[in-house]
Amino acid sequence: MNNENKNSEKSEDNLNPSKFSSQDISKFLKPQLIAELTKRNLITTGTVPELKNRLTQYLNGETTPNDFINTFNANKMDNTKKPYYKPNTFSGLISENIDTFIKKYNRAASINGWSDEEKIKFLPLYLEGPALTFYDNNESNLINDIKWADLENILLSEFKPTAQLDMLKLLLQKRKQLDDEQTINYVNEIESLCKRINPTMHESEIIHTVIKGLKPNIIRQIGIMENNTIKQLKDNLRKFDLIEFMVTGELDQSQTEIKNSIVHDQINKITEKFNEQLKISNENNEKLNKKIENLLENKNSNTNKNTFFRNPNLVKQNHFLNQNYTNNKIQNCEICLLNNHTTATCFRNKNNIQPQQCKVCLKNNHRTENCYFNNKPTITCQICDKAGHSAKTCRSINQNSKN
């Protein structure tokens, strides 16, 4: 019973190889990698990066029969182990590629040891959505007396986009190596596009297409070398990367990395210049503060000296002048609001004694020294005998004439 349970657990693990992601694999240690590879009958020898790469390829459906232990070779598998690698599913949506699905399905069938009849038999298990609907509608024609190669062509004609070939050619025409793209990855993608457009495309045409889309600085070096095969081209590109690393100490940088490096250097230069200017400014401020302190000290010392040596007679004279100015300063009367006398001398102030009659104009509302006609020629009216106006402007005549 225990052996049967172990076998069932192994078979279930083989049917569900994607219990963990490729990111989880990068965190595995060597004992964990060996354990997972052993469960899947994969080779467990090699370095840790090789073991991680082998397990990742297995999850992505990119393994080959050479990755498996000889005792579990796909051609010698026991029927109880089928299928132990699950192909991807295909639904027929626009975002999916029928070429990629068929390629991975054939790879899984080769690993699992399926015959052409088994490929046809297992196919509906990996179809869903519109693709499965198409298969159900034509099941009788797709199963009875048909070969796998013919079924492949039927699927391609049904789910391959009408203008896919034109789209691939346009994509290949505009495809250039990106700024942050590794050169070998770019070569592999161009090679894949060329073979999808024309599986029998000559290798020289593929090489020409690859070189045309490389970065300008790489083309100048690679273009003068012998690139008769794809392998030779890749070897030359690896040599170029090695030489660049030996000369510059780093691999070929993308334009984005170059721009970031330039901006970083410029920021550092601006920061250094700003710090120097700030330092100079602080030094100038310190010098200016010292000068101000010295001036204040000199001023205080001069003030003390002047006070000490001041002439006493001059001090008394200034005090007398200031006091005299204050006493003679004309102030507005707070009672009658006139400015020709003070409140204390105002005739309307009840506290004051009634002023005497003015000797000039003979009025008693002001004193003689404050009279308007003081120090002026005296004018006496010939009618009323009063000073200050003539007979022409006498009010007595005006009043009599009105009566």
Instruction: Give yes or no for residue 65 having a pLDDT over 50.
Output: yes
325-341: pLDDT as tens digits: 455 545 567 677 776 67
CA dist list (Å): 12 to 16, 121, 141: 6, 21, 33
Domain-embedded: residue 48: yes
Domain-embedded: residue 227: yes
d(Cα 197, Cα 194) in Å, to the nearest integer? 5
**Total number of domains constituting the chain:** 4
Instruction: Give yes or no for residue 215 having a pLDDT over 80.
Output: yes
Residue with tokens 């070096």: 221
Question: What is the pLDDT of the chain when averaged over all its residues?
Answer: 75
Does 175 lie in the same domain as 134? no
Does 150 lie in the same domain as 172? no
Window from 189-193, 293-297, 376-380 with minimum mean pLDDT: 376-380
Does 178 lie in the same domain as 135? no
CA 240 vs. chain centroid, Å, equals: 35
Domain-embedded: residue 222: yes
Domain-embedded: residue 304: no
In this prediction, residues 215-229 reach a mean pLDDT of 86
Domain-embedded: residue 268: no
Q: In the listed set 134, 160, 186, which residue is the last one of a domain according to the structure? A: 160
For the domain that residue 222 is a member of, what is the CATH number? 1.10.1200
Using the CB atoms, write b or e for 293-323: b if 16+ within 10 Å.
eeeeeeeeeeeeeeeeeeeeeeeeeeeeeee
DSSP, collapsed to helix, strand or coil, labels residue 90 as strand
Using CB atoms within 10 A of its CB, is residue 270 exposed (0-12), middle (13-18) or buried (19+)?
A: exposed
Q: Which domain holds residue 386?
A: 357-391
User: What pLDDT is attached to residue 17?
Assistant: 45
Does 195 lie in the same domain as 170? yes
Does 152 lie in the same domain as 194? no
User: What pLDDT is attached to residue 365?
Assistant: 72
Using CB atoms within 10 A of its CB, is residue 343 exposed (0-12), middle (13-18) or buried (19+)?
A: middle
Does 210 lie in the same domain as 183? yes
Domain-embedded: residue 290: no
Does 66 lie in the same domain as 114? no
Q: In the listed set 248, 269, 304, which residue is the last one of a domain according to the structure? A: 248
Domain-embedded: residue 305: no
Instruction: Give yes or no for residue 156 having a pLDDT over 60.
Output: yes
CA dist list (Å): 125 to 87, 118, 122, 383: 10, 12, 6, 146
Q: pLDDT > 70: what percent of the chain?
A: 71
Q: In the listed set 193, 226, 248, which residue is the last one of a domain according to the structure? A: 248
Does 23 lie in the same domain as 58? yes
Domain-embedded: residue 54: yes
Does 155 lie in the same domain as 190? no
The angle formed by the CA atoms of residues 128, 133 and 134, to the nearest 5 degrees, is 110
Between helix 203-212 and helix 183-197 the angle, nearest 10°, is 130
